[in-house]
């Protein structure tokens, strides 16, 4: 195609020399030069066309395209808007206008409208469909984007255009249809084996299907093919981190930061790697990068950020510090333990804004003066901080040991009766499916049989949500449904208090049990979340925990067998 473009440009240039006053020829020449990357020459042709024919829509469209390619977005928008005013049926102008508007803040819907207009005016051209799909991808409308990519690829001259297949694969991965994503991007890589971007995306998709070694191979291939950005090095770091090769991952993340020192994601990935390695001081410091350029960060967390200073009662809001919960329920349950340290720092009053489902439970946490839902109106405050910034700010001190939460009044759920002398065991085998690492931490229910077959124990399901389609449920004769009795975390806390033992994967119920001081046997993947570190059978966070780790490359069978053996011993020992 490039050779044909060169021939077309030469033909149009000769024609323009013979007919220098023809603005339509100059407009077409400008567009062709943009395709060839000759932007200065393209600008000269487009500007001359507008000068000759200020009422010609195609001339303004060509000039708008040139300005867009030279990053003069305001001027590009003006030229393209003028073009569609002059000729509302000029599809290419609507397409390029949509592309420009997609880069302008708060103009996403206008971009979609312009590109839809272009699709209607250019029904046999895949380009506006492809551009519209890209905008919908940015808006996280992945299903719609996939449909457009499929239609566009069917129209394209190439029956399997690699870029569209690659983009469809990325959309499928965002929808967590991971195996489909791998297949789609692999098809793109077979067509374009020399594409560093496609190799990088294939590596990301493979990592999402637990194939970290294959992901590493793809990222290294992308680097060998010429990938120069920090993104590929960070992706390589992710594949190494998932294999537990933390020192190598550290080096890859630092290389990404060296290339792009302001890459917040790269610093955050490094932070999680450091924390898992037990390098807490540097890890918590790097973790503060998670808020750089965050699109949803409330302004008060920047304008009134607490730096650790005293907040005396003579301040406007009475020396009040607002603590903002972040991330999942488990994070709030774990890190609320830091609150009692704040009064020793001279904070007069502490208000927690947390998930509505946790408000009643958090009211039992020591050191809090008020708890409000994060989505509702906030009381007055002088300074603010997110909950997971406390460990770094307070110097990594380990705060009060469990129990630091209690069952609120009104938590009245009682477990169904168990046979006399039976050990009452709560069981959870799946985490939140939207968690990015859930595939690594959740367990198919059928694998729990060695535990459920231990005599002398009555098992209660703590599992909430629709887990049957993805992981299944144990037979009803082996497991008593209990989670459905709970309306909120207060009820769950009351239920946990009645249990002798909780056996679970890493999920919010674990942190609730830990905060209540309950005994938990925790099933962990080979590379767990940072708070569990890489080795050890105990946790500094929760002294009553016992950690059962899966070792790579083996599966869950070994730690489950160890739990079954330990449970037999626990039952044999009688009541605690």
If you write DSSP's letter for every residue of 463-519 in order, what string do you get?
Answer: --SS-HHHH----TTT-EE-GGG-SSHHHHHHHHHT-SEEEEESSHHHHHHHHTT--
Burial of residue 409, with CB atoms counted within 10 A of its CB: 0-12 exposed, 13-18 middle, 19 or more buried: exposed
Residue 350 above 60 pLDDT? Answer: yes
Q: Distance (Å, rounded) from C-alpha 77 to C-alpha 71? A: 11
pLDDT of residue 215: 97
pLDDT computed for residue 169 by the predictor: 94
Average pLDDT over residues 445-469: 86
CA distances from 542 to 211, 331, 334, 355, 378 (A): 32, 14, 9, 23, 32
For 300-393, the fitting CATH number among 2.40.160, 3.40.50, 3.30.420, 3.30.1360 is 3.40.50
Local structure of 423: helix, strand or coil: strand
d(CA 35, CA 46): 14
Contact 496, 317 (CB under 8 A): no
Output the CA–CA distances (angstroms, integers) from residue 143 to 137, 160, 169, 181, 448, in the order listed.
Answer: 9, 20, 11, 13, 35
Residue of higher predicted confidence among 547 and 466: 547
The SS3 call for residue 301 is: helix
Nearest to 406 by CA among 319, 509, 316, 515: 515
- Percentage, residues of the chain above pLDDT 90: 70
Cα dist from 307 to 297, 321, 347, whole Å: 17, 11, 12
Where residue 373 falls among pLDDT bands split at 50, 70, 90?
very high
Q: Which residues of the chain does CATH 3.40.50.2000 include?
A: 423-572
Q: How far is CA 365 from CA 50, 242, 386, in A?
A: 70, 35, 17
Write down the pLDDT at residue 466: 62
Read off the pLDDT band of 4 (50, 70, 90). low
- As a whole number, mean pLDDT of residues 135-154 equals 92
Task: Please provide the CATH number assigned to the domain covering 423-572.
Answer: 3.40.50.2000
| Rounded-to-integer distance, Cα 18 and Cα 32, Å | 18
Lowest mean pLDDT among 154-168, 234-248, 467-481: 467-481
Sheet strands (E) in 398-452: 423-428
C-alpha span between 301 and 40 (Å, rounded): 45
> 219 and 235 in contact (C-beta within 8 Å)?
yes
**Nearest to residue 347, comparing CAs of 296, 303, 307, 302?**
307
DSSP assignment of 165-219 equals HHHHHHHHHHTT-HHHHHHHHHHHHHH-TT-HHHHHHHHHHHHTTT-HHHHHHHH
pLDDT beyond 70 at 434: no
| Res 61 pLDDT > 90 | yes
Q: How far apart (Å, rounded) are the C-alpha atoms in residues 398 and 334?
A: 12
pLDDT of amino acid 308: 94
State the burial class of residue 4 (Cβ atoms within 10 Å of its Cβ: 0-12, 13-18, 19+). exposed
Element of type H or E holding 548:
strand 545-549
Per the CB < 8 A criterion, the answer to whether 181 and 170 are in contact is: yes
Give pLDDT, residue 408: 86
**Cα–Cα dist 492/414, whole Å:** 10
Task: State residue 5's pLDDT score.
Answer: 58
CA atoms of 133 and 349, how far apart (whole Å): 50
Count of CB atoms situated within 10 Å of the CB of 484? 9
- Count Cβ neighbours within 10 Å for each residue of 239-253 and write b for 16 or more, e otherwise: bbbbbbbbebbbebb
Is the Cβ–Cβ distance between 141 and 174 less than 8 Å? no
How distant is the alpha carbon of residue 157 from its chain centre?
35
Q: Does the pLDDT at position 439 exceed 80?
A: no
Mean pLDDT for 333-345 is: 93
224: left (phi over 0), alpha (psi -120 to 50) or beta: alpha
Cβ–Cβ < 8 Å for 449, 461: no
Q: Residue 154 half-sphere exposure, CB side, CA atoms within 13 Å?
A: 7
User: What count of residues does the chain have?
Assistant: 576
Please give the mean pLDDT across all residues of the chain. Answer: 90
Decide the pairing of beta strands 383-386 and 320-324.
parallel
Q: 225 φ, ψ to 5°?
A: -85, 0
Alpha-carbon gap, residue 65 to 131, rounded angstroms: 14
Q: In what order do the strands lie in the sheet with 520-524?
A: 480-481, 457-461, 423-428, 501-505, 520-524, 545-549
Q: How far is CA 281 from the centre of its chain?
A: 24
Lowest mean pLDDT among 10-14, 185-189, 247-251, 542-546: 10-14
Average pLDDT, stretch 276-291? 95
The whole-angstrom separation of Cα 519 and Cα 521 is 7
Tell me the pLDDT tens digit for each residue of 562-576: 999 999 999 988 755
- Looking at per-residue pLDDT, the higher value among 155 and 337 belongs to 337
pLDDT band at 1 (very low <50, low <70, confident <90, very high): very low
In this predicted model, what pLDDT tens digit does every residue of 395-411 receive, in sequence order?
Answer: 866 777 899 999 988 76
> What average pLDDT does this structure show over 503-528?
95
How much is the average pLDDT of 451-465?
Answer: 90
- Best CA proximity match to 92, nearest among 132, 69, 68, 62: 62
pLDDT at 177 over 80: yes
Distance CA 38, CA 8 (A): 14
pLDDT at residue 487 is higher than 70: yes
Q: Name the residue with higher pLDDT: 23 or 189.
A: 189
Q: What was the pLDDT predicted at 506?
A: 93
Q: Is the pLDDT of residue 277 over 90?
A: yes
């Amino acid at each position: 195609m490039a050779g044909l473009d060169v021939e077309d440009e030469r033909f149009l240039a000769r024609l323009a020399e013979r007919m220098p006053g023809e603005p339509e020829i100059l407009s077409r020449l400008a567009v062709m030069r943009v395709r060839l990357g000759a932007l200065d020459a393209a600008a000269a042709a487009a500007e001359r066309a507008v000068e000759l024919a200020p009422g010609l829509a195609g001339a303004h469209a060509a000039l708008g395209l040139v300005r867009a390619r030279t990053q003069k977005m305001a001027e590009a928008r003006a030229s393209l808007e003028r073009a569609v005013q002059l000729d509302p049926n000029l599809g290419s102008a609507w397409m390029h206008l949509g592309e420009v508007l997609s880069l302008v803040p708060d103009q996403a819907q206008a971009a979609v409208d312009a590109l839809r207009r272009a699709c209607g005016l250019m029904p046999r051209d895949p380009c506006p469909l492809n551009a519209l799909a890209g905008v919908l991808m940015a808006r996280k409308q992945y299903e719609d984007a996939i449909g457009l990519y499929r239609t566009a690829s069917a129209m394209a001259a190439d029956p399997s255009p690699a870029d569209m297949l690659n983009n469809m694969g990325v959309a499928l991965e965002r929808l967590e249809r991971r195996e489909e994503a791998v297949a789609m991007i692999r098809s793109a890589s077979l067509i374009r084996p020399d594409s560093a971007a496609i190799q990088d995306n294939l590596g990301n998709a493979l990592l999402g299907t637990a194939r970290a070694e294959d992901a590493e191979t793809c990222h290294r291939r992308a680097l060998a093919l010429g990938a120069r950005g920090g993104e590929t090095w960070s992706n390589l770091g992710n594949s190494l981190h998932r294999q537990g090769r933390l020192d190598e991952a550290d080096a890859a993340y630092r290389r990404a930061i060296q290339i792009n020192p302001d890459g917040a994601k790269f610093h955050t990935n490094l932070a999680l790697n450091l924390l898992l390695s037990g390098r807490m001081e540097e890890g918590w410091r790097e973790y503060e990068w998670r808020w750089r350029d965050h699109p949803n960060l409330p302004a008060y967390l920047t304008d009134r950020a607490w730096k650790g200073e005293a907040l005396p009662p003579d301040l406007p809001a009475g020396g009040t510090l607002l603590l903002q919960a972040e991330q999942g329920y488990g994070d709030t349950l774990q890190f609320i333990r830091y609150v009692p340290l704040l009064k020793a720092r001279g904070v007069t009053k502490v208000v927690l804004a947390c998930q509505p489902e946790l408000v009643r439970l958090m009211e039992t946490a020591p050191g809090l003066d008020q708890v409000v839902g994060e989505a509702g109106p906030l009381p007055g405050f002088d300074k603010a901080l997110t909950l997971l910034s406390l460990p770094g700010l307070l110097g990594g001190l380990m705060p009060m040991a469990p129990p630091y939460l209690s069952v609120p009044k009104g938590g009245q759920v009682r477990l169904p009766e168990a046979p006399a002398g039976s050990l009452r065991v709560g069981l959870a085998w799946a985490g939140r499916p939207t968690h990015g690492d859930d595939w690594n931490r959740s367990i198919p229910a059928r694998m729990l049989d060695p535990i459920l077959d231990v005599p002398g124990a009555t098992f209660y399901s703590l599992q909430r949500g629709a887990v049957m389609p993805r992981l299944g449920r144990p037979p009803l004769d082996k497991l008593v449904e209990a989670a459905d009795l709970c309306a909120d975390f207060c009820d769950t806390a009351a239920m946990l208090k009645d249990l002798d033992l909780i056996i679970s994967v890493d999920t919010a119920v674990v942190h609730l049990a830990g905060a209540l001081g309950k005994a938990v046997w925790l099933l962990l993947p080979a590379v767990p979340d940072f708070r569990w570190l890489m080795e050890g059978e105990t946790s500094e966070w929760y002294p009553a925990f016992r950690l059962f780790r899966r070792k790579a490359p083996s599966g869950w069978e070994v730690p489950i067998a160890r739990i079954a053996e330990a449970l037999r011993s626990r039952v044999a020992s009688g009541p605690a």
